[in-house]
Amino acid sequence: MTVVACPTCAKKVEWTEANKYRPFCSERCKQIDLGAWAEEKFVIPGGAPTDPLDDPLADH
């Protein structure tokens, strides 16, 4: 059986189908994580989006 750390509280959690909140230990930790994403506390790095209308070489 695989054991992982809850991303929110670091409690050890069994990675099984019986744990409906995996990888979280509980609904509470799952909601805390969702709230952090909603508040933009977590971001996925990437470049700024470009506007195709600003590119003189783009096919319009």
Known binding residues:
6, 9, 25, 29
Which positions make up the binding site for Zn(2+)? 6, 9, 25, 29
The one-letter amino acid code at 54 reads D
Nearest to 30 by CA among 21, 38, 39: 21
- Cα distance between residue 56 and residue 54, in whole Å: 6
